[in-house]
Each structure stands twice: as structure tokens, then as C-alpha cells.
Structure 1
Amino acid sequence: MTKLSVNINKIATLRNSRGGDMPNVVQFAKDVQEFGAQGVTIHPRPDERHIRYQDAYDLKPVVYTEYNIEGNPISKFVDMVLKIKPTQVTLVPDAVDAITSNAGWDTIKHKDFLTEVIKEFKQNNIRTSIFLDPDVKQVEGALATGTDRIELYTEAFAHEYSLDNTEAIKPYVACAIKANELGVGVNAGHDLSLDNIKFFKEQIPGLLEVSIGHALISESLYLGVENVINMYLNKLK
């Protein structure tokens, strides 16, 4: 079964909008695990506009499933990850002013930088993943960095899904097949939802984990968090 990691950034966004501690991100992380999620994902950004760096530390004692921290490996981020030692770190090339993740790494251009960062994380027993556009050449480049996994950036798939799902999925299938051949694990995330997750999971060989936040939280406003998590788990079987 593909694991479901719930990205709780949107809970922090809601909390921050009022300046208090409601909803509480630590309690929410406890709850989603209790409801069946197999991981918790956060993506702190330098301006801390949703998840704060302190949240990352506060969550460490309560995440008993898999703890995945995403972000651009600037020095502050690297130091934090090395102190917390989550299950997995996902490297994302975010621009400082990006509203959300909008591109994967060029693993060929940035090979030396990624190799150095990944080596340090792996020496500390932290599983590594690189956020990638669905490009087979980038998967091959990822192998050369020593990463454990890649995370396929699925916005393009989600956008094209309702127009022609068979065409939309093709580059992702090709990348997953190549990653499997190379012994690199496959994760995926961005704009996956209850509408498209089952098809995506069924088509992608060896899909280990999906990280879902915005859609899951939005769907939960109507259907309830516990119900939505179990709906995802059923579609990921």
C-alpha cells in the first residue's frame, strides 16, 4: 500500500491568521495519525508564513509515524533538519517569494550541491528525497546525487487529469519505471486529491508515499478530517 503523509501547512496558515494557537498544529498532527495517516509532512519557509521553525521542533516528540520535512536546503533549514532528525527530508528548490512549490530540481545542473547536502543528511540517518518534474533525465540525474528517493511534482498531472488522464500520466509512469530500474524510491505530491489519487496510484509502479495537504484539508471542511483520511487510505490500497 502507498503511504499517506498529511501536509499540515494549511492548519498553521489558519492558526496564524488569528495570531493565537487555534487550530493547534501539534494536536492536529496527533489526530491525523490517530485517524490512520502514516506520516506527517511540514514545509517551513524562511518567512514562516505558515509552519514555523518552532513548530518543526514541537512536532518531533508527537510524530510516531513518519516525519517528513520539506524545504529548500538553505543553511537555516539544514541546521534544523540535522537537529530534529526526521524520518525523511524532501529537498524543494523554492524561491523565497514562492506561494507554493512550483518547480522541481535540475539535478544535472545542481548535482554537486545536492550531492553534498544529501551526503550530510544520510550520514545522520535521515532518508532523502528530491522534488522533481516528471523528466526521465532528471531521474537519472537524481541517482547520481545519492538520494534515496524522488518526489514527483504532480501539478501538471492534476491540471491535465480531467482533460486526458491517459496522456497526463505518461511522463510520471516513465519516470517511475526509470526510478524503479535505478533503485530509487518514488514519492509524489502537489494537487493530488480524492478525484485523481486512485488513478494516479494505480498507474505508478512502486509508488511508496504521497504527501497531500491543500486538497485534503479543503475536502475535510465538507467531509470531516477522519472521514477524508480514510477515503484516501481506501483509494491508496
Structure 2
Amino acid sequence: MSHPVGYAIRRVRHMSSAKLNGPFTDLILQKMQEMGVDSLEEFSRRTGISRGTLYYLVRGRQTKAGTWVKPSVDTLVALAKALDVPAHELLYRLEPEAPGSEWRSERHIPILGYVGGGPSQLEEIEERTVPVRVKGDARHLAAFKVRGNSMCAGKRPICHGDVIIVNTEDKGHPGAIVVARLENGEYVVKLLKNGALYSTNPEENGPPVIPLDQVAEIVGRVVEVRSRL
């Protein structure tokens, strides 16, 4: 069963949001949403990371003196595998001044407009840019704000109000989520497979399948989803 974005965090709401102080909370919850997992217990079963360790990573842990306890190297490696991110990126979250972190700097990339909302998506929106941390420049990245819930289902739900980061140098592959410009000028975010673009939420209005002959351009592959939880 698929769940909308935000479902996973509601499932751990009993912790109290004030206690979600772990350094990797956002990454863990995002991965849970991508996997369609609605509890830390299930995430633990799938990733092999103990439930106690996951609770510690999400909530953070302090000594009696108030010092934050950092996870071990073994825990960082296991978490990096589970999240499918480089281990050094997790290290830099713990130690922003660690050697090598200077090679990753914050850049602001443009939010070009809306996707999934019909011909008027590229109207001006309030947010102009979104920050990302990258090595080198970020000219290959662009962002869009999602309008509608045609992709708010499956293992990687993308829902109304989310901001998506797109790699414009990567035109996607079968099974990838991409942003495309249609022949009628409309911009959409869809699943690329079987020579067509698919919506993942069958309960939404609109065409569930768009043939590629109606596509003027694949803008790029979605590489990150920032949910409005």
C-alpha cells in the first residue's frame, strides 16, 4: 500500500517533533517515504539497522552533561548504504569543518516554475531559488514546484507543494522520474517507462499515460524531492 508524503513522519509523531533532533532525521524520513515505509520498525527490518539505532539517529542522543553523542563509523557506513548516499556526506553533517568538506559548497539554484499544473505552470512563484550543496558549480541543476498529486503514490511519492531538484544533463532511463516539456508547452513530472510517461496515482484526474510523441523535450531526471511536511 502506498502512502502520501508526510505519512511516515506522522507515524513517528508520538516521539514529539521537538525530540526529532538527530542529524539525519530528514534523510531517514525521506528515504522511508521513497520506500513506502510507514514505521521505523519496518525500515529497520528492510535495512538491517537495529530499531534502537534508528531511534537514536532520528531523535539524537545526549550525555548527562548535554553533549550530543555521535554515531560510530560502523553506524555511518550502514546508514549510508541504507540511504544510498556517500558516507562522507553523512560525516560532513556531523563535522562540517572536516577535511574535504570545503569542496562542497551551498549554491542556490533557480525554481523555474510549476510542473503538473497545465499550461500556466511557468508563472512567477514566490520562491525564486532553493539551496543545494554540491561540488563545483550547479549549472546542471534546476528546481520546480509540484502542483497536483498525479505522482503522489508508489515507492517515491511526489505530492502537491513538493520542490523537486532536476539534473538537466541526465535525461533519465526506464524507471526514472523525469520532468518533461510537452508539445503543448505544458511541463509535467512523470515516470519514464515502456516508451511513455506514466502517472503513479491512478486516483488523480488527467491522462495516466502520455506517449513520447507528445513530448517535446525531457528536461532532466529528478534527483531529489523536498517534501513540505
The structure richer in helix per residue is 1
Larger radius of gyration: 2
**Quick check: TM above 0.5?**
no
TM-score (norm 2): 0.28
Q: Which has the higher contact order (CA 8 A, sep 6+)?
A: 1
The structure richer in strand per residue is 2
